Amino acid sequence: MPSERYLFPHRHLLGIEPLSPRDITALLDQARAFEEVCERPEIKIVPALRKRLIVNLFFENSTRTRNSFEIAEKRLSAEIINFDADTSSLSKGETLVDTAMNLESMRPDLIVMRHAAPGAHALLARHMKASIVNAGDGAHEHPTQALLDAYTLRKRFGRLEGLRVAIVGDIRNSRVVRSNLWLLTKMGAQVTLVAPPTLLPPGLRDTWPGITLSNDLDATLPSQDAVMMLRCQFERGTGAYIPGQGEYARFFQLNAARMGRCRPDVAVLHPGPINRGVEITSEVADGPNSLVLQQVTNGVPVRMAVLFLLCNPHGEQVP
């Protein structure tokens, strides 16, 4: 069995881009063992990261990602500090590096960080001995979301290679989409991005030449194994790129009528939180094809896998 010889080579998880298909497979395989832990009838905790200190450093609000990380950390028996940017010295003007150096002097083993600036994680990784996990950086990457999406798809279809996946909606403002594009293309899935022209930023095919771009959801749906609906990020100004929510919904909403165009076993994913009635109707989001809650469930074992593989010593180091 070749996987016995493989050692996870990374010290940080800054994004999906630096990972090899082998690394991605290792993370997903590792998550299977943690899914078993999470499904146990009684004790859902293992001592794997006992005495390790993990700091959750969130400069942007994120209830669900942060909760998911925190549950993952607790299930691995890690010690946890939650560092809330609102109540910290940052509001008193401290720089990110100063904050990092202060944290570093308390010797954490790992830092889970969400920050609006795409370079913030790499900056921290250069200044600290601790492992850094990117829990979302602006519109750049959100690697654990892509991993849990991939885990959900692989569990449902048994493979990622050759899988036809449409990613629909607010491509411009989504960080989920970039991580998913890296992951799905590395793993050999066939990705189609569907959005109004205003929400499809230029240059996507320079980075991911194998992908298909479309403005026509109805034409795309019939051939897809999975449809990943993105949240319209109105708080990031998506409203300025579309004529109105009703008009957007008329062409890009996944609703019962459009489900009729899909394969009967199509998988519907959404990273949440959902704008019900905008990008997806409640009927579809709560319907039999929806894997939305499974995505949330799978987030915990996937994050446990990330924390576990980063917290333990490494094979040959890759930055």
Partner 1 sequence: MPDTPSPCLLDAGQMEVHLQRLCREIVAAFGNNESLALVGIRTRGLSLAERLAGMLQEILQKEIPLGALDITLYRDDLSELAGSPIVRPTEIPFSLKGHTLVLVDDVLFTGRTIRAAMDALLDHGRPNRIWLAALVDRGGRQLPIQADFMALKLEVPLDQRVSVKVKEIDGVDGVFMETRV
Question: Which residues are the active-site residues?
Answer: 64-65, 92, 114, 142
Q: Which of 19, 217 has the CB closer to partner 1? A: 19
Sketch the per residue contact string, 272 through 311, with partner 1: x for CB under 8 A, - otherwise: ------------------------------------xx--
20 lines the binding site for partner 1 (CB under 8 A):
no
**Angstrom distance (rounded) from CA 258 to CA 256:** 5
315 lines the binding site for partner 1 (CB under 8 A):
yes
Q: By C-alpha distance, which of 132, 168, 186, 147 is closest to 68?
A: 147
**Angstrom distance (rounded) from CA 282 to CA 231:** 14
- Please count the residues of this chain forming the interface with partner 1, following the rule CB under 8 A: 28
Residue 128 CB, nearest approach to partner 1 (Å): 19
Pick left, alpha or beta for residue 200 (phi over 0 → left; psi -120 to 50 → alpha; otherwise beta): beta
209 lines the binding site for partner 1 (CB under 8 A):
no
Residue 60 CB, nearest approach to partner 1 (Å): 29
**Angstrom distance (rounded) from CA 292 to CA 272:** 8
Residue 301 CB, nearest approach to partner 1 (Å): 10
Among 16, 19, 24, 35, contact with partner 1 (rule: CB under 8 A) = 35
Burial of 17 (0-12, 13-18, 19+ CB in 10 A): middle
- 8-state DSSP, 275: -
1 lines the binding site for partner 1 (CB under 8 A):
yes
208 lines the binding site for partner 1 (CB under 8 A):
no
60 lines the binding site for partner 1 (CB under 8 A):
no
Token code pair at residue 169 = 């909606």
Are 199 and 170 in contact, with CB atoms under 8 Å apart?
yes
**Angstrom distance (rounded) from CA 201 to CA 263:** 29
Residue 130 is which amino acid?
A: A
Judged by the rule CB under 8 A, the positions of this chain that interact with partner 1 are 1, 3-4, 6-8, 26, 29-30, 32-33, 35-37, 40-43, 45-48, 308-309, 312-315
